[in-house]
Amino acid sequence: MTKNHPTRRAMCAVCERPQAACICASVVRVDSPVEVLILMHPLEVGQAKNSGRLLNLCLPASRIVVGEAFEPGALDALLHADGRRPVLLYPAEAGADAGAAPMEPSRLRLVVLDATWRKSRKMLYLNPLLRSLPRLALADVPASGYRIRKAHAPHQLSSFEAAAYALAQLTGEQAACVRLLDAFESFVVQQAAFVRSA
């Protein structure tokens, strides 16, 4: 007697999602002098609404590393590779400097925690190296357009939106930010349509 195994869904080799939910049509390549390191919480990997993979596909100078608690030596190597200065995209703590010191964008590495707010706080707690980084707090950003995922407050942006605004803040390149946000809106519309048809 043989067991029936569910049919394996065909996957897109580029975005690593089921072909029926492929997000490649939303990808817009945007070159930035700032390198982006996306530290993705393991629970985000299988989330259809997660925007971290789209961010990675849109930014050639980016990479994703999945984890919650990182080995300190390996994390230090990731943060400081090629002599870049890491800056954490995260609200400043009370009494701390609210923004990273200005620096040549080509020497910066923007560190993005791709997780829920609760999980991102846990990632900071588990990784003292991340807590020690200078932080970049966003200024005067509009409400989130992340309609497919619930936020607790309008100022709570998706990882993608936050990174787009941060890159504009660091480089002054508003056009690149607009192109990224257009890609994100395409992704949101696609995912909303997919949910309605499911």
The ranges assigned to domains in the chain are 26-197
CA-CA distance, 165 to 168, in Å (whole number)?
5
pLDDT recorded at residue 123: 97
Contacts of 104 (CB under 8 A, 6+ apart): none
* pTM across the whole model: 0.86
pLDDT recorded at residue 4: 56
By CB atoms closer than 10 A (0-12, 13-18, 19+), residue 84 is middle
Q: Kindly give the parts of the chain with pLDDT less than 50.
A: 1-2, 95-96, 98, 152
pLDDT recorded at residue 98: 47
pLDDT recorded at residue 49: 78
CA-CA distance, 141 to 25, in Å (whole number)?
26
* Residue written as token pair 């080995």: 71
pLDDT recorded at residue 1: 45
Residues 49-89 have pLDDT tens digits of 788 999 999 999 999 999 999 999 999 999 999 999 999 99
Q: Are the C-beta atoms of residues 100 and 138 closer than 8 Å to each other?
A: no
Q: Are the C-beta atoms of residues 124 and 136 closer than 8 Å to each other?
A: no
